[in-house]
Amino acid sequence: MGNNNNRTFDAIVIGSGISGGWAAKELTEKGLKTLVLERGREVKHLKDYPTANKMPWEFEHRGEPAQEIQEKNPVVSKCYAFREDAMHFFVKDTEHPYVQEKPFDWIRGYQVGGKSLLWARQTQRWSQYDFEGPARDGFAVDWPIRYNDIAPWYSYVEKFAGISGNKDGLDTLPDGEFLPALELSCVENYFKDFVARNYAGRHVIYARCAHLTQPNQVHLDQGRGQCQKRALCQRGCPFGGYFSSNSSTIPAAERTGNLTLRPFSVVHSIIYDDKKGKASGVRVVDAQTKEISEFFAPVIFVNAGALNTNLILLNSTSNRFPNGLGNDSGVLGKFAAFHNYRARISGQYDGFKDSKTDGRSHTSAYLPRFRNVMKQETDFLRGYAAGFGAGRYMNRNYNGFGEELKNNLASTDYGPWRVGSHMMGETIPKETNTLALDNNRKDDWGIPLLKVDISYDDNDEKMVKDYHEQMTEMFTKAGFTDIHTTDSKAAPGLDIHEMGGVRMGHEPKTSVLNKWNQMHACKNVFITDGACMTSTSTQNPSLTYMAFTARAVDYAVSQMKKREL
């Protein structure tokens, strides 16, 4: 570890989540003395997973947060993982306020590792269609890269992180470097075969996920072990069975001897040197003492999480950049986007009476996007992917008293197979979806509150309708019954896939970053978290952030060696 009293480093990384952890690993392994600033507390792998091995009856309320806690946290308590076993990894609403110009549920985890402790671990590559989408459909500026630019970096991060999956041979969802996949259930396989026979261009596959189903040496060398399929991942995995910064990239960075990790460090702003024409360092407020410090480095990676990255850059003003660091284009904080997870469908299937669900799985089946791929075929732009799962469970009979109740509870009578799917829709980045600073209100660390003005539009409503129609047809033809569609009408944000505001692009006039995730107007600052995204596609985005980060670090270090930064 470096000396915390030292103020000058070779590189600074803001944030220690999925992308920040990768930036730390890559920079330190390339020999750079690197400072990682994390606004939250330290969380050490193994040591700081207090609920990892608790039994259900060891929780005071059997997992359910107390009503008082839910009432005090109306936003974060909406998240599926905010339960007694993991709520210590979430930001509480009252402690970190923000301004909702329109309803937006901002789910955050401020600690070393960030939300990499809590993510759903779904890892799909983007395809050529995703990177070409804006140019083809005209809904955003053109991506400055294509699939072939990022493909080798997908492979690079997949090998280290450990991704289970099958070689499916789909150009809409390229194959990766996979560990063995787990089995789908018999009904999931039935639906997979049914769709293949009846729908050209539609596919049901095993959902690729960041779990060590069969560790390779590179994973064992990290001190990680095989996934035990406990499905308790949000507690922190004592086996290192799934990928997180805490179990993988941060320990790798520590092993180099080049890492200084500084928790409780709230980044106020990035310091710009007008004379040198580049950023010189970072201004930090101690989360506990409120003391202000400054740290310096020739290269800075901003990986604070999409919305916080926007906040930091907007708050980084100077004579050169009065409206936020690198904001010559005026698009900083604009064109924010997210994923639309509102729509669901459920049903049941009366076949396979000789089979049942046994054990636990950390993933299920997945339908890659099939709408508007080869051509525009609907009245909305882009499309949606979908999850699909099927399970069979015991009918629980709680009637009676004494012996009768015991006999009823001991019954092994199974009901029908339950099937369900949820939509993962691509939203269109709009200039009206904005992130800005509040001019009047500040947080406990003297930083302006973030104003979030993000909403659905007519394109999203049409997509929900189409998902319901298409999935209802597929479910019906497959022989599923008791079919119900729902629209949660949830506010944006619960997808926890916020993106944009610091988008990549060819032109400095319409974007903030170039093809290397490097600021057009401030060359020694790189952004590789969700803020950099030009469009959102339908895939879970974390794998793409990892690949962007490794690629950008490789470029940044090569430029430093050439004295170009």
pLDDT digits (tens, 9 = 90+) for 11-54: 999 999 999 999 999 999 999 999 999 999 999 999 999 999 99
Q: Are 414 and 392 in contact (CB under 8 A)?
A: yes
pTM for the whole structure: 0.96
What pLDDT is stored for residue 5 in this prediction?
58
Domain spans of the chain, in order of start: 169-207+339-426+456-491
C-alpha distances in Å from residue 157, one per residue of 146, 269, 403, 450, 516: 18, 30, 56, 32, 17
Tell me what percent of the chain is helix, strand and coil, each rounded to the nearest 5.
25, 20, 50
In whole angstroms, what is the distance from residue 211 CA to residue 244 CA?
10
- Model confidence at 3, pLDDT cuts 50, 70, 90, reads very low
In this structure, are strands 414-426 and 384-394 parallel, antiparallel, or unpaired? Answer: antiparallel
Q: Are 410 and 424 in contact (CB under 8 A)?
A: no
In whole angstroms, what is the distance from residue 325 CA to residue 280 CA?
12
What pLDDT is stored for residue 381 in this prediction?
97
Average pLDDT over the chain, rounded to an integer: 96
State the residue for tokens 């200084």: 260
Q: At what angle do helices 18-29 and 542-561 cross, to 10 degrees?
A: 30
User: At residue 563, does pLDDT exceed 80?
Assistant: yes
State the residue for tokens 């989360």: 287
Mean pLDDT of 108-126: 98
C-alpha triplet 95, 97, 100: angle, nearest 5°: 155
* pLDDT digits 0-9 by tens, 394-439: 888 899 999 998 988 888 889 999 999 999 999 999 999 999 999 9
